[in-house]
C-alpha cells in the first residue's frame, strides 16, 4: 500500500490547490533530508537528541558563536560529526519534486533550515538557506572564501590558505544573528504573498519558520503541512498530510502531472 492509497483524498485536495496556484512557498526542515539517510536532528542540522556532549556541555553551547570564538576545536569537533553524517548522501525525491515544481510554476521559493545544500544540488534556484550551507567556508580574519564537497582531509579547525586565520562554515550557530539579506529577501517574498504555503518536515519551532505559515493562514491562503508528527503550526494549517516528505511530495506531484 502506498502513500496515495492511504491518503488519496488529502492528496487530491492538495492537487486541486496546485492546479489553481501560480506561486508556492516550501518551508523545509530536517525531515526533507531524512530519506537521504540524514537523521532528523535538533539544532543546526545535526544529529543530537542528547543534552550533553563529551565535554559535559549542552550541544547548543558547543555549536554556538561564542564557543567557536573561544574554543573553536570544540565547535569544529561537532561540526565535523554533522558533516560526516551527511557525507556521501545526496538529494532525494522530495528535493527533486520541489525543483521540478520550480520549473513548472511561475514563482516558487524554498525556505530551508537545512545546511546540507541538497535543494540546490537537486536543481532549485530560488532557495533561502536561512541557516547557511555547511560546505561554504570563510576566513574569520580576511576575505578568503571557498566551497568544499566535504571536510575530509581538513584539519579541524581548518586554516586559511591566504592568511592562516581560522576558517568556519557559513552557517548560523546558536546565539548568532541570521543573515540580514536573507531575512530581508524572505520578507520581500512574503509581502508579495503566495497562492499556497507548504511546511515540510519541520517542527517550526523557530518564529521565522512558523511566521510565513501564520501569515498565509491569516490571509486566507491555503496552507499545507507534510510531516509524520505534530508541529507548532499543525493547529493552524488548512491541510495536514502525515507522511514523510519524499513519499508525500512524490504522490502529490505524480497525481498532479497525471491530471
Handedness of CA 37, 151, 81, 174 (dihedral sign): negative
- Residue 133 neighbours by CB under 8 Å, 6+ apart: 115, 116, 117, 120, 169, 170, 171
Phi, psi dihedral angles at 133 (to 5 degrees): -135, 125
Q: Residue 131 catalytic? A: yes
What single string gives the DSSP state of each residue in 34-98? GGGT----BTTTS-B--SB-TTSSBHHHHTBHHHHHH-HHHHHHHHHHHHHHHTT----HHHHHH
For the CA atoms of the chain, what is the radius of gyration?
19
- Residue found under cell 542540522: 45
Q: Three cell numbers at 70?
A: 573561544
Q: Which one of the listed residues 7, 95, 119, 131 is annotated catalytic?
A: 131
- Give catalytic residues, as residue numbers: 131
Amino acid at each position: 500500500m502506498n502513500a496515495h492509497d492511504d491518503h488519496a483524498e488529502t492528496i487530491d485536495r492538495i492537487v486541486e490547490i496546485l492546479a489553481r496556484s501560480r506561486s508556492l512557498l516550501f518551508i523545509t526542515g530536517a525531515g526533507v533530508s531524512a530519506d537521504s539517510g540524514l537523521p532528523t536532528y535538533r539544532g543546526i542540522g545535526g544529529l543530537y537528541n542528547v543534552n550533553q556532549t563529551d565535554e559535559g556541555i549542552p550541544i547548543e553551547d558547543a555549536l554556538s558563536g561564542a564557543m567557536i570564538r573561544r574554543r573553536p576545536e570544540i565547535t569544529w569537533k561537532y561540526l565535523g560529526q554533522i558533516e560526516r553524517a551527511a557525507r556521501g548522501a545526496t538529494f532525494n525525491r522530495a528535493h527533486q519534486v520541489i525543483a521540478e515544481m520550480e520549473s513548472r510554476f511561475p514563482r516558487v521559493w524554498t525556505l530551508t533550515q537545512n545546511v546540507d545544500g541538497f535543494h540546490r544540488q537537486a536543481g532549485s534556484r530560488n532557495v533561502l538557506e536561512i541557516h547557511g550551507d555547511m560546505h561554504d567556508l570563510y576566513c574569520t580574519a580576511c576575505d578568503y572564501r571557498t566551497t568544499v564537497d566535504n571536510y575530509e582531509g581538513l584539519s579541524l579547525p581548518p586554516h586559511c590558505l591566504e592568511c592562516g586565520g581560522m576558517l568556519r562554515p557559513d552557517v548560523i550557530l546558536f546565539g548568532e544573528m541570521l543573515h540580514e539579506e536573507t531575512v530581508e529577501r524572505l520578507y520581500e517574498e512574503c509581502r508579495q504573498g503566495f497562492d499556497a504555503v507548504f511546511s515540510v518536515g519541520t517542527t517550526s519551532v523557530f518564529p521565522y519558520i512558523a511566521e510565513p505559515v501564520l501569515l498565509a493562514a491569516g490571509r486566507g491562503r491555503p496552507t499545507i503541512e507534510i510531516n509524520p508528527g505534530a508541529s507548532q503550526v499543525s493547529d493552524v494549517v488548512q491541510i495536514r498530510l502525515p507522511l514523510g516528505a519524499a513519499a508525500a511530495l512524490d504522490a502529490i506531484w505524480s497525481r498532479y502531472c497525471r491530471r
